[in-house]
Amino acid sequence: MAKTGNEIRQQFLDYFVKQQHQLVKSSSVVPADDPSLLFTNAGMVQFKNVFTGQEKRPYNRATTCQKCFRVSGKHNDLENVGRTPRHHTFFEMLGNFSFGDYFKEKAVVFAWEFLTREMGLDPEKLWVSVYTEDDEAARLWESEVGVRPERIVRLGEEENFWAMGDTGPCGPCSEIHIDQGAHMGCGREDCAVGCDCDRFLELWNLVFMQYERDATGKMTPLPRPSIDTGMGLERIAATVQGFTSNYDSDLFTPIMDFTSQLAGVARGADEESDVSLRVIADHARACAVLVGDGVLPSNEGRGYVLRRILRRAARHGRKLGLSGPFLHKVAGVVMDEMRGAYPGLYDSRAFVDKVIISEEERFGETLDTGLKLLSEALAEAKAKGQDVLDGQTAFKLYDTFGFPLDLTMTIVAEEGLGVDEEGFDEAMGQQRSRSRAAWSGSGEHQLPPALAGLRSEGFGTTFTGYEGLTGRDTAA
């Protein structure tokens, strides 16, 4: 029997604890005291100040399994979800960290040993990438763990140089990829590590924090360089279990099987329904974790990301023929599955259930009518030979039917059309000037009665700085 996802998570943490790393709990997906970030998107986020030296901890090595979200800003994988086998909105990042303690040599050895000895991956299938100028890393992969030089690929700044921000700690990265076979590739002659297709799967990224960059761009070597690594649990689990899609791993199959039974749609029956099953599984995980960490649906900031994800899931439910609220049930399966690793989430399941069902009911009332309106408008646009949906209709869907713009854009794109975004903005502007008073959408910023009072109990966040109202991704 192959290892389960839960076992792999535990084995990773145990391995690094054995190497004198302090086991640290995942921080919330809502970053503490970091207004520059909508969601925690990597394991290092909770250690930022430790890396810069502003904060001291009683340990200089740590290991975590961090809850991560990549749905905004620099890392936005939302549109990839369900379409690629390796991207999720929510995922767990396994990591080991050195705060001025060990550096490249040990990091390389730990990672290689974990993958080949602990996980039993075939070294013959592994490739590594290093930053173009990082001769030291290339040499270490060869001398310390015996990677053949032809398996070491050099990649540029875009792929393999990491920086905390415009200034501050930065340095080269090195990634471990697994060759999943030529049949998974794009078939292009130059398909190699770093290609966007599914042949070479990036498993693990090792960041070598080695310099401090100042405002002029000058890089000074750090006196005590650090290590920050991240490996997606879903990817390593699928790989170890012999699959090329994360969704075939046991972290996802119970969730997808549940939805499949609920909808009476078999897995593997048809590509479109499979996409829906995958998206729903991803989004159910995301919604459970977001609400579990205190995010409530709203028309702004984090709450709007939750609302957008939930509404996308609701629409995929309709595609599978599910009528009425269902996502809370799927989220229930998620929380059962995650119970061992996240007991706190399991304990708050009654609350999570209430929040999700209430948002599902809220949107359910207008979803079907909105979908009907949209399909009529699409048919009309097509009949007229137009390649865009007019902005007025997109705005009406947004304003009256609660369709985030990105949801409308996704549905429209599936039909091969675009949305007239300028027209949408214009309609929004007209609406705003019509209602002189502060614009309040369709009143959706107010929580339904069942949830009123939760905000005052400390749930929900009011971050407004980085996400537009509409569901467009506006952050840099």
Nearer to ligand ATP, 173 or 356 (CB): 173
Q: Residue from 171, 230, 317, 460 that binds ligand ATP (CB under 6 A)?
A: 230
Number of Cβ within 10 Å of residue 45's Cβ equals 19
Alpha helices by DSSP H, listed for 297-420, are 301-319, 327-337, 343-347, 349-383, 391-399, 405-414
Could you tell which of Mg ion, ligand ATP, none binds residue 87, using a CB distance below 5 to 8 A set by kind?
A: ligand ATP
Output 174 or 393, the one with its CB closest to ligand ATP.
174
205 binds Mg ion (CB under 5 A): yes
Name which of 56, 148, 141 is nearest 104 in CA terms. Answer: 141
Q: Report DSSP state, residue 55.
A: S
Nearer to ligand ATP, 6 or 431 (CB): 6
Q: Does 363 bind ligand ATP (CB under 6 A)?
A: no
**Residue with CB nearest ligand ATP?**
232
Cα 328 to Cα 7, 50, 335, 357, 462: the distances in Å are: 26, 38, 10, 6, 23
Question: Comparing C-alpha atoms, which of 410, 319, 297, 404 is closest to residue 368?
Answer: 319
Q: Which stretch binds ligand ATP (CB under 6 A): 104-112, 197-205, 329-337, 342-350?
A: 197-205
Residue 232 interacts with ligand ATP (CB under 6 A): yes or no: yes
- Which residue in the block uniquely carries the two structure tokens 């009654």? 350
Q: For residues 283 and 360, what is the distance between their CA atoms, to the nearest angstrom?
A: 13
Residue range at the interface with ligand ATP (CB under 6 A); choices 54-62, 203-211, 216-224, 448-456: 203-211
Does residue 151 bind ligand ATP (CB under 6 A)? no
> Which of ligand ATP, Mg ion, none does 302 bind, CB closer than 5 to 8 A by kind?
none
Does 87 interact with ligand ATP (rule: CB under 6 A)?
A: yes
| Contact pick of 193, 231, 265, 306 for ligand ATP (by CB under 6 A) | 231
Strand 61-69, strand 90-98: pairing? antiparallel
Quick one: what does residue 307 bind among Mg ion, ligand ATP, none, with the CB cut-off 5 to 8 Å set by partner type?
A: none
359 binds ligand ATP (CB under 6 A): no
Residue 201 beta carbon to ligand ATP: minimum distance, rounded to whole angstroms: 8
Helices 349-383 and 327-337 cross at an angle (nearest 10°) of 130
Distance (Å, rounded) from C-alpha 79 to C-alpha 271?
17
Q: Please say whether the beta carbons of 295 and 458 come within 8 A.
A: no
DSSP code at position 148: -
Residues in binding contact with ligand ATP, number by CB under 6 A: 16
At its nearest, how many Å lie between Mg ion and the CB of residue 159? 6
Q: Does 228 bind ligand ATP (CB under 6 A)?
A: no
Distance CA 325, CA 131 (A): 48
Identified binder of ligand ATP from the candidate list 46, 72, 205, 298, rule CB under 6 A = 205
Instruction: Report the chain's terminal Cα–Cα distance, integer Å.
Output: 44
| Residue ranges binding ligand ATP (CB under 6 A) | 70, 77, 86-88, 91, 93, 202-205, 230-232, 234-235
| Residue ranges binding Mg ion (CB under 5 A) | 202, 205
